Structure 1
Amino acid sequence: MTASAHLTTVMTNAVAAFRELRRSDRASRAAWLAAAADALDADADALVEIAGRETRLPEQRLRGELARTSSQLRFFGEVITDGAYLEATIDHPNPSATPPIPDLRRMLVPLGPVAVFAASNFPFAFSVAGGDTASALAAGNPVIVKIHAGHPELSHRVAERMLTALLDAGAPAGILATIEGRDDATALVLHPDTAAVGFTGSIPGGRALFDLAASRPTPIPFYGELGSLNPVVITARALAAHRSELVEGLVGSFTLGAGQFCTKPGLVFVPRGSGFAVDVATAAPAVAPQPMLMPRIAEGFRAGATALRQQPGVTLVGGDAPGDGGEQQPMVFATDTSALRADDSVVREECFGPAVVIVEHDGDADLIEAIAALPGGLTATLHAAEGEAADCAALIATLEESAGRLLFGGWPTGVAVAWSQHHGGPYPATTSLFTSVGASAIRRFLRPLAFQTAPDAALPPELRDAPAGIPRRIDGELRVH
């Protein structure tokens, strides 16, 4: 596909910026990220107003998300200042080793221009200034963001505020740009200068772009977060001890943001005959109908909910079938493991919106078999009584195999930005093993580069014999400085 004149200019500028970024130091990049964060915070009132108008999300939610976004930019400044992310490693010559070891030095270096596809459901945190952009910039890559059609005015304003701040702080021109439209989005993935892609969105859209990235003459990494059921298991003892709290917590979680969170609990496993589905259906109407983000998302939810209603063995126990309006009330479905395991079962597919499926099982063996049959997910949650986890070893092992984050108690909605966070999971949750949130998200946009018998002047400062002020492994020994 032929790139538009705009995209051609954007990529030319990005390549020029990358040459400068390769020579930039970590302290400068950290300062650039902090400047971008400050610019977003200074424009918070206007940004939140635009976001509310375009997405219909409440002001409190948007202010919190914007604060998270600016904090995330600063967080990646801390990550690169620390320097451990570089995995700097030095082996001095050892001629007596078998085979002999020459002078070898290795670290991670940036890839090149990174394409980022913004998400619909987080107009700040997974959009123009989101985690993909923050981590790619921190690593030393220019970023080209495909704006989401659900909040274009907001995207342009965020990009303008960020770019102005970055340039004023000394970043090279071409470090950040935006594109719009399906044709340029496709051309961006296929462009020979695009080095990697970050994506958050639907399974069909993500898989199409993933396949496109792999089909290039030179394939590139595609880091996609696609879809997730986020199963929850509640034991009989946990139900007996905390039934009302579990009902309240589940309703709050699966309806949060009208169920338009990638970590929404979609399936909840309980013992047969527990009556838990009826309790959830009784409590759910306390949550007022909420607007969906976009007509396309509302249409997808209607299709998914209708398919669930038509699935043999699935019963709608709470909520009305979605209509044509923009607001949607919670929906609660009930089924059992036999319906979930059917070859044509839509219970194994994500229904993006305020719906939850309560799945009854007939004991540990039935439960474990059902969990094992699920597609990969971002999260899995176990609610067990105090001291009961020791009796759930086989179940926990199965949950570990199916998800990227395992919760013991609590609910999966809400993803902290932290050094230890992992927001990813087996396909289709993500198309790779890496996280899109937290410190190691930066690893997606770096590659290893080894230097052999290089003169000191040719080495990056982090690989020279002089102290570098970062953690390094030198001749097999991990040293802090």
Structure 2
Amino acid sequence: MTYHPHGKHLIAGERVGSDRTFSSEPAHGEAHAFSVGSPEMVDRACEAAEAAFDAFAATTREARAEFLDTIAAELEARVDDITATAMSETGLPEPRIRSVELPRTANQMRLFARHIRDGAYLDRRHDAAMPDREPMPRPDLRMIERPIGPVAVFGASNFPLAFSTAGGDTAAALAAGCPVVVKGHGAHPGTGELAAEAIAAAVEKCGMPSGTFSLIQGGDRSVGQRLVQHPLIKAVGFTGSLKGGRALFDLCAQRPEPIPFFGELGSVNPMFLLEQAAAVRGADIGKAWAGSLTMGAGQFCTNPGIAVVLDGAGADAVRDAAKAALEEMGPQTMLTNGIASAYKGGAAAMADQAGVTAIVTTEPAERAATPFLFETDAQTWLGNEALGEEVFGPLGLIVRCRDTTEMEMVARTLKGQLTVTLHMDDGDADAARRLLPIVERKAGRILANGFPTGVEVADAMVHGGPYPAATNFGHTSVGTLAIRRFLRPVCFQNMPESVLPDDLTT
């Protein structure tokens, strides 16, 4: 790695150090020292964001689009340093960073740039005045979506680029016209620093206000608490654990002025293998499931952790193929020591559940993950909510059902999910039609004959769902609809065109 982090925060274009430092914990390579954030630094960043808001919100869509395009170019210009740093900090392989996550992060910026240039996201509406209407005249009414104010973003552990400093929440807020204050994730501070430098370079090149973006690294819980409770912050974007996200969500609700908390908090992403599909393709599905389950050491929010299947030969084929494939999988480095420890604890807890049979058991070492596979029946599942809790890593659970009625009962007991998958053949159409209205209420994305790992960055994508998958079921953290999280509708009544926002008159 040729890049040596400066280890400072970036607040309104300035590198800011502190008296205390923390050390990164790389999977391999040299550790580096980074300044520890403080509530006082949060105040400074939020005040700078508020000072920048009026000017940044007033920029034209074209100017903001050019800004997003420039951020993408600045990220790509740092590809070698970002790749080496992210690999060292997270243990992720080079293709995941260089060929997948960095291009996705840059292309997300460009997608949002194209989207705001079009202007449809503003949802502009106009009811012309009807002065002669009886019994009362109608005023002229014009509606448009307007930016809400400074936004706080929390970086995610499992995506050092696409869901972190320059990730989807940051891109969406900037596209909407909202300055951003990022709380960097301690799992990859060097990567976050590089992404922040790319955004800062774009701020300067495009002449945006200096307070448009800030990054604060490290610090204890008081830093995150101060950020979500700062009176100048008007919304929060978060991807992380249910426990941590729920604590921040509650703090947002307890403010004198409650604000929206857009949190993605976890999902087990169940798959339903219908009768014909399991009978004809059970072995193929089981093998492919093992590949999806272990992709990236299972550290994806869309990791398909549950397979629900009708008891019989099809279920046996799924189990046996998955078992054979998983037993061939070697250890994979996990993102942090803490994630690795939590994974081992989750696997041990699953093994101790009554009515659960271990199919594949392994002995993960230190920061490495090795796969686990368990099996249970529907009645055990229905009587034990703990079986539906996420274990972050390559752990799978097969739930065997006696009939389609029992399968539907399992579906009805699901908590909110990011995804649900139906594996089906032509002969399964009737069963799929019965299941679909049930799972539609449970997830933001429903797949047929595929695997949910891999979230396409596109207009129609929904990455969210009912609680606890997300804290706001009406929105998504991926796709262009994500921008609308940071906008609010404003109606202008009988307002002269000369003083209306430019987007309402052009």
Say which SS state the counterpart of residue 102 (structure 1) adopts.
coil
Equivalent residue for 1:124, pick from 161, 175, 189: 161
Q: Whole-Å Cα distance in 2 between the matches of residues 272 and 55 of structure 1?
A: 40
Equivalent residue for 1:405, pick from 439, 445, 456: 445
Give the aligned partner of residue 171 of structure 1: 208
For residues 190-339 of structure 1, the aligned pairs below 5 Å read 190-273=229-312, 274-275=315-316, 276-320=318-362, 322-339=363-380
Partner amino acid, structure 2, of 1:92: A
- Point out the more displaced range, 255-264 or 89-98: 89-98
Q: Work out whether residues 197 and 222 of structure 1, in 8 Å CA contact, stay in contact via their aligned partners in 2.
A: yes
Q: TM-score, normalised by structure 2?
A: 0.89
Q: Deviations over 1:403-446 (max 9, x none)?
A: 11000111000000101110000000000020000010001000
Change (3 A) 1:109 1:98: farther
Q: Work out whether residues 281 and 317 of structure 1, in 8 Å CA contact, stay in contact via their aligned partners in 2.
A: yes
Partner amino acid, structure 2, of 1:11: C
Is 1:78–2:118 an aligned residue pair? Answer: no
Say which SS state the counterpart of residue 441 (structure 2) adopts.
helix
For residues 28-43 of structure 1, the aligned pairs below 5 Å read 28-43=63-78
Partner amino acid, structure 1, of 2:308: F
Q: Work out whether residues 123 and 145 of structure 2, in 8 Å CA contact, stay in contact via their aligned partners in 1.
A: yes
Change (3 A) 1:249 1:99: farther
Say which SS state the counterpart of residue 442 (structure 1) adopts.
helix
Is 1:49–2:84 an aligned residue pair? Answer: yes
Shift of 1:7: 1.8
What's the % identity of the aligned pairs?
44
Q: Whole-Å Cα distance in 1 between the matches of residues 141 and 493 of structure 2?
A: 5
Shift of 1:272: 1.2
Give the aligned partner of residue 59 of structure 1: 94
Shift of 1:325: 1.4
Shift of 1:97: 6.0
Q: Work out whether residues 228 and 376 of structure 1, in 8 Å CA contact, stay in contact via their aligned partners in 2.
A: yes
Is 1:428–2:465 an aligned residue pair? Answer: no
Give the aligned partner of residue 223 of structure 2: 184
Change (3 A) 1:97 1:196: farther
What is the aligned-residue RMSD (CA, Å)?
A: 1.4
Shift of 1:364: 1.0
Q: Whole-Å Cα distance in 2 between the matches of residues 56 and 212 of structure 1?
A: 33
Give the aligned partner of residue 161 of structure 1: 198
Partner amino acid, structure 2, of 1:295: N
Partner amino acid, structure 2, of 1:419: D
Q: Whole-Å Cα distance in 1 between the matches of residues 91 and 188 of structure 2?
A: 10
Q: Work out whether residues 281 and 319 of structure 1, in 8 Å CA contact, stay in contact via their aligned partners in 2.
A: no
Shift of 1:166: 2.1
Q: Whole-Å Cα distance in 2 between the matches of residues 98 and 73 of structure 1?
A: 50
Equivalent residue for 1:395, pick from 421, 428, 435: 435
Shift of 1:75: 0.6
Shift of 1:323: 4.1
- Point out the more displaced range, 390-399 or 51-60: 390-399
Shift of 1:358: 0.5
Shift of 1:173: 0.6
Q: Which runs of 5+ in 2 are unaligned?
A: 1-36
Is 1:358–2:398 an aligned residue pair? Answer: yes
Q: Whole-Å Cα distance in 2 between the matches of residues 130 and 111 of structure 1?
A: 19
Q: Whole-Å Cα distance in 1 between the matches of residues 349 and 385 of structure 2?
A: 9
Q: Work out whether residues 287 and 330 of structure 1, in 8 Å CA contact, stay in contact via their aligned partners in 2.
A: yes
Q: Whole-Å Cα distance in 2 between the matches of residues 103 and 387 of structure 1?
A: 56
Say which SS state the counterpart of residue 388 (structure 1) adopts.
helix
Shift of 1:128: 0.4
Shift of 1:387: 5.0
Q: TM-score, normalised by structure 1?
A: 0.94
Q: Work out whether residues 283 and 320 of structure 2, in 8 Å CA contact, stay in contact via their aligned partners in 1.
A: no
Shift of 1:9: 1.7
Say which SS state the counterpart of residue 126 (structure 1) adopts.
coil
Partner amino acid, structure 2, of 1:392: A
Give the aligned partner of residue 457 of structure 2: 417
Q: Whole-Å Cα distance in 2 between the matches of residues 437 and 101 of structure 1?
A: 39
Q: Whole-Å Cα distance in 1 between the matches of residues 413 and 154 of structure 2?
A: 30
Q: Deviations over 1:61-115 (max 9, x none)?
A: 1111000000000110011001000001111112416664201101000011100
Q: Whole-Å Cα distance in 2 between the matches of residues 100 and 215 of structure 1?
A: 42
